[in-house]
Amino acid sequence: MIFSTSPPLPICVPVALCGWLRRVPVVLNVQDIVSEAGSRVGLLKKSGLLSRAVDALEKFAALHNYGMI
Where do the domains of the chain lie?
Answer: 2-68
Tell me how far apart the alpha carbons of residues 43 and 60 are, in angstroms, rounded to a whole number: 23
Nearest to 56 by CA among 27, 29, 35: 35
Number of other residues whose CB lies within 10 A of the CB of residue 53:
12
What average pLDDT does the segment 49-65 reach? 78
Give pLDDT, residue 47. 77
What average pLDDT does the segment 63-68 reach? 66
Quick one: pLDDT band at residue 65, thresholds 50, 70, 90? low
Give pLDDT, residue 22. 93
Give pLDDT, residue 45. 76
Residue pLDDT, tens place only, 14-52: 888 898 899 998 887 776 666 667 777 777 777 788 778
